[in-house]
Amino acid sequence: MNIDPTQLLSFRKGNAKLDDRIYTFDLPAGHSCPQAKICLAKADRLSGEITDGPEQQFRCFSATAERFESVRNMRWNNFELLRGKNEVEMISLITASLPKDATVIRLHVSGDFFNQEYTNSWMNVAAANPEIHFYTYSKSVQFVKSAHVPDNMIVTFSLGGRQDEIIDESMQTAQVVFTPEVATEMGLEIDHDDSHAMTKGGNFAILLHSTQPTGSQAAEAIKKMRAEQVPFKYPRESQENELETTLSRFDSTINMDVICNPEQNEIKLVNPSELKQHPDNQRMYGSPKQLLVLAESIIKVGLLQPIIINEKNEILCGWRRFKAIESFDPVTPIKTTMVKLNPEDEAAFIVFSNSQRTKTALEKYHEAVVLKTHWGKKQGQRTDLQTDLSETEKKNTRARIADAIGVSETEIFKITAVGDKDQAMLQLVGEDVTLNEAYNAIKSDTPKHKVPAEEIDLETIHACPFCGNIPKRIELDENNNLKYTEQ
């Protein structure tokens, strides 16, 4: 089939959250999404005016981009070139349009599989191009189930469509959540950069983002996240600007001229055997878990951000990425960026570089301890009346810590209250008890979650690996009997 070069489909490189080496292919949001439900939104072909679906709970992230004529034209041109063609014709068109240097292609940042023939066409194209890694989100469950999905095509089913009932446990799913806490309660990691969607690593969450209808619950959730400085947007991140972003956050809280000279940063290759975990990272976060998804992502698309180290080859940012790389290639030298910080500032730098991680209550507590020490103020100290401080510095320490960690002041208050008295209780938060239950428990004389003192095995009680404190609720009396101490 001879195809006029002017009638080829359009692909783009990257977007707000994807690396420029990843190509994307789009169709008009809503108009090409036959099974959309809770996210349904359509931009008018000519005016760009958006109409929301009758059962919408949040507006499709991609629909808002179609307010721009150039975006609408590109997506509609793709749609119109495909509609009306049979499967053989679509396969020929897609094949002829594929970027020659493509190694990773994400289908349908906007749009979806709109009929069975179109779905089959992409699966056939993927099977014929095994050197390219394809991945996509879809609510067209039946179309995908009726097609043969090749190994180099990863399909994640977006929950909230009209065919959720036919999704089974073998299918990878993604669910939009309005707060990070909801993802934690559901036991789902949040995918911030498509690393989960690129691989078959299990179900995950996507944090609500983009412009939402005024007055809607989604709009209020966005407003709340902004107020609490929860990182919900997807800024473009190249290999270099993850460091710049971290330094920028760091710079907003202290004087970077004193602790770091960016001109002295050094890019260098380091053998994996020479890299090690920073002791403060170990104390705060322990050993990394669930590295399979990350490792598979790095294998397919490479290391998109550099590992950031200090002069001792201790990793300040990227320990999980390093361990993932080490699991499949423990020999090849790794590209790193070395920054020169004062040693006393490195722990705080690690906290800021982990700002988008989903963390446990205990990890948040350890971060709060680090930042409280770093800023050197007593919790609750008044700084709002001083005139020589920035707006950030005018906040009390608890407010600054809450902003930096990305939670409310109330949550930080309760986390620190529980952690200062009983860190074992914090380990239960999110699994066995809520934070409020933990907070109420530590206010009583006898902790509710512990077994009677006489049943405690002292050998199982360990000092906190971070602060060195030993639990003081249980000790021996003068007759060598176990007892609870008064708090």
CATH code: domain of residue 298: 3.90.1530
Q: Are residues 215 and 252 in the same domain?
A: no
Task: State how many domains the chain has.
Answer: 2
Report the range of poorest mean pLDDT among 129-138, 362-371, 427-436: 427-436
Q: Is residue 98 part of a domain?
A: yes
Residue type, position 123, single letter: M
Torsion angle of C-alpha atoms 241, 242, 248, 254, degrees rounded to 10: -140
Over residues 384-397, the mean pLDDT reads 49
In whole angstroms, give the CA distance from residue 132 to residue 297: 14
Most confident of 142-146, 196-200, 393-397, 471-475: 142-146
How would residue 357 be classed by pLDDT, with cut points 50, 70 and 90?
Answer: low
- Asked if residue 398 belongs to a domain, the reply is no
Quick check: is 153 in a domain? yes
- At 3, phi and psi to the nearest 5? -120, 130
> Average model confidence (pLDDT) for the chain?
79
How far apart are alpha carbons 414 and 476 in whole angstroms? 29
Predicted TM-score (pTM) above 0.85: no
Look at residues 227, 251, 275 and tell me which one is the last residue of a structural domain.
227
Is residue 440 a part of any domain in this protein?
A: no
Token pair 């940063």 is found at: 265
> Which residues lie closer than 8 Å to 254 by C-beta, 6 or more apart?
345, 374
pLDDT computed for residue 486 by the predictor: 46
Q: Is pLDDT of 321 > 50?
A: yes
Q: Are residues 45 and 91 in the same domain?
A: yes
Residue 136 lies in a domain: yes
Sheet of strand 276-277: strand arrangement: 266-270, 334-338, 307-309, 314-317, 276-277
Q: Are residues 198 and 80 both part of a single domain? A: yes
- Residues 115 and 195 reside in one and the same domain: yes
Q: Under a CB-based contact definition with an 8 Å cutoff, are residues 389 and 383 in contact?
A: yes
Cα–Cα distances (Å) from 355 to 250, 345, 447, in that order, read 11, 16, 32
In this structure, is residue 34 part of a structural domain?
yes
∠ CA 3-4-10, rounded to 5°: 90
Same domain for 120 and 264?
A: no
Q: Are 267 and 337 in contact (CB under 8 A)?
A: yes
Do both 77 and 14 map to the same domain? yes
Residue type, 180: P
Q: Is residue 265 part of a domain?
A: yes
Residues 104, 45, single domain; the answer is: yes
For the ranges 48-57, 243-252, 435-444, the one whose mean pLDDT is highest = 48-57
Whether residues 75 and 203 share a domain: the answer is yes
The letter for the amino acid at 53 is G
* Mean pLDDT value of segment 70-86: 93
Report the pLDDT averaged over residues 463-477: 54
Residue 91 lies in a domain: yes
Long-range contacts at 387-392 (CB < 8 A, ≥ 24 apart)? 390/252, 392/252, 392/253
For residue 378, pLDDT over 80 is answered with: no
Residues recorded for the chain = 487
Domain check: are 171 and 312 in the same one?
no
Let me know whether 12 and 34 are in one domain. yes
DSSP at 8: P
Q: Do residues 197 and 84 both lie within one domain?
A: yes
> Among 314, 349, 384, where does a domain finish?
349
The highest-confidence range among 272-276, 474-478, 482-486, by mean pLDDT, is 272-276
Residue 125 has which token pair? 């194209």
Q: Of residues 384 and 156, which shows the higher confidence score?
A: 156
Residue where a domain terminates, one of 349, 384, 404? 349
pLDDT at 293: 67
pLDDT of residue 291: 73
Is residue 84 within 8 A of residue 202, CB to CB? The reply is no
Residue 354 banded pLDDT, cuts 50, 70, 90: confident
Question: What are the structure tokens assigned to 365, written together?
Answer: 């507590």
pLDDT bucket at 360, cuts 50 / 70 / 90: confident
Segments forming the whole domain that contains residue 265? 241-349
246 and 208 in a common domain:
no
- DSSP code, position 455: G
